[in-house]
Structure 1
Amino acid sequence: MKRFAMLFAAALIGAAPSMPSIAREAPAAGYAVGAQYDTTHVYVAPEDFDRFVASFVATFGGTTSKQGVFQVTPTPSQTLSQLILTPAGTVSVFGFKTPIPSPFGQERTGYLVRDLDAAVAAAMKHGATRLVTSFPDPIGRDALVQWPGGVNMQLYWHTATPHYAALATVPENRVYLTPDAADAFVKSWLGFSRGRIVSDEKATPGAAIGQPGKTYRRIRITSGYGRMVVIVSDGQLPWPYARDTTGYAVTDLGATLARANAAGAEVLVPAQADGDRQTAIVRFPGGYIAEIHSGAAR
């Protein structure tokens, strides 16, 4: 089993020296390792797996790990698994060949941490609930947590230290909440991530989330885990808004959308102005929906 784990690690992230034991006291940046190690989790049907991977790489560029079939949950299951490393963000793709054990498939992201037990304890201290207690996987350990407002995330740690190139642009974790939960979520996330609020716009024009004539609150946050935008509205959102859990920053939105379209993706919301940005929403083969934007990073 140990040999299998190391072989899988080498296939996924490349051979690397063992990670030394890290002190339980979090450094100034918390337990984050870096934005390039934070992955959006994408679940697609096995028959759509290769089409999605090819389309995503054609749109954003980058490379992939070797595809394989693994058990990545604490209870019996089998999934196709592959990592996509693009200059605009990292994606973990899963194509389950068996039924997906609950609550897997409901988590939006996986965040690499320096010390899993300490990071989970810190998350709980700041208001998170454990959905799945820590468990081993073929290349390390994982846990699933839920933040106020029902925001699910995976925290993970690798047995072998990964070494990924820095991102050209850092994606945004896009969190849609109502006023009932927004402040509690932001307080919890800032406490855990040791991040800071970049901007808190109380009355952003609602056209950007399909609500022309209304306004919403938009909170932008940065931390060692990358960027986050918290979108606070009445929740009365037309499709596909709130299905986009990640926003990808690119230098040329028009060219990116053209590549996406040529690679089989569908533009659900055409490019539109949103303050100092141009934004669009795209659905890739297999159903994954993403926001893509260009313009000033804030």
Structure 2
Amino acid sequence: MLYPAAELPQPDSPDSQAIRNAMAPDIRSGRSHFSLPMKGYSMKQSLKPISLALALGLTASLPAHAATSSSVAVAPQYDTSHVYVAPGEVDAFVKSFLATFGGKSTAQVVVNVLPVPSSTTSQLLQTPVGTVSLFGFTTPVPYPFGAERNGYLVKDLDKALAEAKKNGADVIVHDFPDPIGRDAVVQWPGGVNMQLYWHTKTPDYAAFQTVPENRVYLSEQRADAFIKGFVGFSHGKVIADEKRLDGAVVGEPGKPIRRVKLESDFGKMVVFVTDGHLPYPYGRETTGYEVSDLAATVAKAESSGARLVVEPKAEPGRQSAIVEFPGGYVAEIHQPVAAK
């Protein structure tokens, strides 16, 4: 069930003005912030839907990097990994994640980010190596939210949804409005869920120092359909298709797997095609973060409360480790190494 447009703050209403005030960029510093609204307006009490992207402080400005004209994507720095943790774990996760990768958090707010009644803490963790949209729901999470791995900013939501459907995706949450744009959730072959969102004006973020990779695990039966569909949708390309890679990269040494690397204006993606006999934590890590010093980054993670679940190891073209942050979020971290 979607909220009708009449339920949203109208352009000249006090609620709408409060949200615009809260979203205003700090022109003097060049930074954006999401402050609490004007006196008398309670975001905690409001059940009006506010997009996941809006709640996390995406401010109106010109884009730092434009995508190619044929692509619906904007740029990788506007794409976020969605992380859901229990409310009591939010602060510990924020502290550990930022201590590990650097960066900053927007102000935490309590809002409804969905098209149905719900309540969550919400903030954006912006680091040089990737951005997290963090949610700590104080109500049950309505289906199918919580299963989407990330959010992609698009230049035109109608075009993006048409392109997604044309390339084999299902629209599992129809588009719904928010005060400065619209949102939807799509599902690709193999059950890969992603949020697509659009704003009337594009936010302005600096490019990442290194672009994170979206890590997707699929069956042999659905992998080609997913790859073909996502490449068609994103106007991306296949960078590498390793058809018989040692399964040690996913915890199955000696067993061949397939690994496909994709790139597009949305960023990087790695598709692992396996038999599904994966030891923990493989398959749980939806994002891989590239760093310049893996040992130092892992040390920061452990000293700030994260747990090392896969020791650093050599893989083709990289050194890789996997950590579990407070709240249960699992992430791969890697350092590129030159081929010998």
Q: Give, in whole Å, the separation in 2 of the partners of 1:169 and 1:27.
A: 19
Q: 2:98 aligns with which of 45, 50, 57?
A: 57
Q: Give, in whole Å, the separation in 2 of the partners of 1:96 and 1:138.
A: 21
**SS at 1:134's partner residue?**
strand
Offset of 1:18 from its aligned partner?
Answer: 8.7
Q: Give, in whole Å, the separation in 2 of the partners of 1:172 and 1:83.
A: 18
Confirm whether residue 264 of structure 1 aligns to residue 305 of structure 2: yes
Offset of 1:161 from its aligned partner?
Answer: 2.3
The residue aligned with 1:101 is 142
The residue aligned with 1:155 is 196
Offset of 1:61 from its aligned partner?
Answer: 0.4
Root mean square deviation of aligned Cα: 1.8
**SS at 1:4's partner residue?**
helix
Name the TM-score, length of structure 2 as normaliser: 0.83
Q: Give, in whole Å, the separation in 2 of the partners of 1:291 and 1:226.
A: 16
2:213/2:288 contact within 8 Å kept: yes
Q: Give, in whole Å, the separation in 2 of the partners of 1:297 and 1:123.
A: 36
Residues 292 and 27 (structure 1 numbering): CA distance in 2 closer, same or farther, change over 3 Å? closer
**SS at 1:55's partner residue?**
helix
Q: 2:133 aligns with which of 63, 79, 92?
A: 92
**Counterpart amino acid of 1:3?**
Q
Q: Deviations over 1:125-145 (max 9, x none)?
A: 110001100012354211000
**SS at 1:189's partner residue?**
helix
The residue aligned with 1:23 is none
Offset of 1:56 from its aligned partner?
Answer: 0.5
Residues 17 and 254 (structure 1 numbering): CA distance in 2 closer, same or farther, change over 3 Å? closer
The residue aligned with 1:116 is 157
Q: Give, in whole Å, the separation in 2 of the partners of 1:297 and 1:56.
A: 27
The residue aligned with 1:227 is 268
Q: Give, in whole Å, the separation in 1 of the partners of 2:131 and 2:179.
A: 19
2:212/2:289 contact within 8 Å kept: yes
1:9/1:139 contact within 8 Å kept: no
Offset of 1:7 from its aligned partner?
Answer: 3.4
**SS at 2:230's partner residue?**
helix
Residues 112 and 296 (structure 1 numbering): CA distance in 2 closer, same or farther, change over 3 Å? farther
Q: Deviations over 1:17-68 (max 9, x none)?
A: 599xxxxxx9544111100000000000001011111111000001111110
**SS at 1:184's partner residue?**
helix
**Counterpart amino acid of 1:5?**
I
The residue aligned with 2:60 is 16
Residues 297 and 271 (structure 1 numbering): CA distance in 2 closer, same or farther, change over 3 Å? same
The residue aligned with 1:5 is 19
Structure number with higher relative contact order (C-alpha < 8 Å, ≥ 6 residues apart):
1
Q: Give, in whole Å, the separation in 1 of the partners of 2:87 and 2:93.
A: 10
Confirm whether residue 133 of structure 1 aligns to residue 174 of structure 2: yes
The residue aligned with 1:214 is 255
The gaps in structure 1 that reach 5 residues or longer are: 20-25
The residue aligned with 2:215 is 174
The residue aligned with 2:31 is none
The gaps in structure 2 that reach 5 residues or longer are: 1-8, 10-15, 25-33, 35-55
Larger mean Cα displacement after TM superposition, 2-11 or 160-169:
2-11
Identity %: 58
Confirm whether residue 253 of structure 1 aligns to residue 267 of structure 2: no
Matches within 5 A, 1:74-89: 74-89=115-130
Q: Give, in whole Å, the separation in 2 of the partners of 1:297 and 1:64.
A: 33
Residues 213 and 18 (structure 1 numbering): CA distance in 2 closer, same or farther, change over 3 Å? closer
The residue aligned with 1:240 is 281
Q: Deviations over 1:245-277 (max 9, x none)?
A: 000000000000000001100000000011121
1:29/1:224 contact within 8 Å kept: no
2:189/2:222 contact within 8 Å kept: yes
Q: Give, in whole Å, the separation in 1 of the partners of 2:197 and 2:338.
A: 28
**Counterpart amino acid of 2:23?**
A
Q: Deviations over 1:184-234 (max 9, x none)?
A: 000000000000011000111111111011011000000000000000011
Q: Give, in whole Å, the separation in 2 of the partners of 1:14 and 1:211.
A: 40
How many corresponding residue pairs?
A: 292
